[in-house]
Amino acid sequence: MATQVTATASTPRSSSFLRIAIALQTLTLFLQAVSAGLLLTSSYGETLHSVGARVMYGASMLYVLAAVLAWRPGGGSPRPAWHASGFLVLASVQVVLGIAHVPSVHLPLGVLMFGLSVLALSRAQPVNL
């Protein structure tokens, strides 16, 4: 007798991991804005902003991982994986612009990224436990 296994929408665990990854990314983007202000007013702001950039980039990669895990094994929609991948591209452009010291594009892109991250967090499905 064979058993039939059906793919369900993303499991609560993968959905929870996805929400946590998006929340972490949103928090790191907010802290980047704070450290950008410190960059202009204190001696340690540059170091804090530089470390924050690495953490934000890592959080973006974690978001991609969480989105792929929610999509592939759980059988959910691929849309979050595409959004996360696009966000990683934006984060890469942001890092390059920051290193090149192009604040006229770096700052508005940072604001856009924060807004998109808040939007992604608000659209992530809540977990029913």
Write out pLDDT tens, residues 5-45.
444 444 566 678 899 999 999 999 999 999 999 988 998 99
Q: How far apart are CA 56 and CA 62, in angstroms?
A: 10
- Residues 97/109, Cβ–Cβ less than 8 Å: yes
- Residues 91/56, Cβ–Cβ less than 8 Å: yes
pTM greater than 0.85 (yes/no): no
Amino acid (1-letter code) at residue 109: L
Q: How far apart are CA 26 and CA 52, in angstroms?
A: 12
DSSP for residue 74: T
Mean per-residue pLDDT for 82-99?
Answer: 95
Flag whether pLDDT at 3 surpasses 70. no
Q: How far apart are CA 45 and CA 49, in angstroms?
A: 6
